[in-house]
Amino acid sequence: MDFSPLIIGAMRLGKWGVNFNTNEYESFINGCLDLGLDTFDHADIYGDYTTEAEFGAVLKKSPSLRKRIKLITKCGIKMVSPNRPEHKVKSYDLSADHIIKSVEHSLVELSTDHIDLLLLHRPDYLMNPEEIAGGFTKLKSEGKALGFGVSNFSTSQFDLLHKHYPLTTNQIEVSLLQRNAFDDGTLDQCLGLGLKPMAWSPLGGGALFKTSEDEMINRIQKVGNELCDGYNCGLDQLLYAWALAHPAGIIPVLGTSNLERIGLAKAALEIKISREDWYRLWTAATGNEVP
């Protein structure tokens, strides 16, 4: 399934962020669609297990919207929350039973009959790949989830599950502040398999836009702002362009609820950063030239 080149993250839309009401959610969804961005990324835990239902209230109010959007959601984290009093300790659960029950609950919350892409939110130390594959097969056969992937999985964990069921993506943290995926084989693996990785927190959680005493952040800001003049763009757009330059075809997951910023992010799709400028930013981040 094809998703939009930028994915709209839902984590900050509710209780954990701007706390949209139903009308504001609807305006936001329509604004994203007007920009040609139709893919929304959820997780069952967002907003202490409330954001899916808030988003779903819009789809219940305006059912025709569902045909125009694609829904991603994640499961597997059991978070301690007043909304889940049975959870006594934060843990991970990728048993087939939990995955199936989580999806069925998300379907109700999101007022939909299917999830376009289900991601396993975090690896479970006790996960059994054959059991997970069985759960995926059941969900697929019942039409409750159309595709499956993972989030925050190592290359070995990805391989382990991919051998038993074909995965479509690994959603990982990628930014100039978090570069592990370039060295630990994650992006190489996606490129080799022809799977587009999704990148959460592609702007480094906003740290690169604040005054800081961190030398790495100051180096990136200095070089980044110098380059922005040449590319006629903002620092946020340059950072998106930096991630988008990788041949694996990274799809950024946007964390903003501001439609103007989302529009600027979309414009960054047209910025083609040079190889040398890409390495200027890498060098600024690491503090050393490449070996």
What is the tens place of the pLDDT at every residue in 19-54? Answer: 999 999 999 999 999 999 999 999 999 999 999 999
Q: What is the pLDDT of residue 84?
A: 97
Q: What is the pLDDT of residue 129?
A: 98
Q: How far apart are CA 235 and CA 1, in angstroms?
A: 31
Q: How far apart are CA 182 and CA 185, in angstroms?
A: 7
Residues taking part in catalysis: 46
Average pLDDT, the chain: 97
pTM score, whole prediction? 0.97
Q: Return the structure tokens found at 50.
A: 């409330």
**pLDDT score of 1 more than 90:** no
Give the model confidence (pLDDT) of 111-154 as tens digits.
999 999 999 999 999 999 999 999 999 999 999 999 999 999 99
SS3 13: coil
Q: Of 189, 178, 179, which is closest to residue 149 (Cα–Cα)?
A: 189
Task: Give Cα 224 distance to the centre of its chain.
Answer: 24
CATH node for 7-168:
3.20.20.100
SS3 120: strand
Q: Return the structure tokens found at 154.
A: 């190592």
**% the chain with pLDDT above 90:** 99
